[in-house]
Amino acid sequence: MSGKLTLHGVQQHVVFPARIAIAAEEVSFDATMTVRQSEFGMTEGAKKTKDEVPVAISIRGRRK
């Protein structure tokens, strides 16, 4: 997947792998990516913790 991610008022282009599954009654989307706080202007947070923060996305929906 690729797109624009906005965090803390800063927009960056991101690319990350995702898995999309379509079944008879459900659609699912699962993805993981790593965000660097410093790339989004969150320098204070990056000083207090690791700059790289893992993000997991999981979406489920029923099909009609």
Mean pLDDT of 30-46: 89
Is 20 a residue whose pLDDT tops 80?
yes
Higher per-residue pLDDT: 46 or 30: 30
The larger pLDDT score, comparing residue 20 to residue 44, is at 20
By residue range, what is the domain housing residue 7? 2-62
For the chain, how many structural domains are there in total? 1
Give me the chain's average pLDDT, please.
92
- Assess contact for 52 and 42: CB atoms under 8 A: no
- The angle subtended at Cα 34 by Cα 33 and Cα 39, nearest 5°, is 130
In the predicted model, is pLDDT for residue 64 greater than 90? no
Determine the length of the chain.
64
Q: What does the pLDDT average to over 46-64?
A: 90
Per-residue pLDDT at 47: 80
DSSP H helices, the chain, are 43-48
Query: Residue 54's domain is classified under what CATH number?
Result: 2.40.128.110
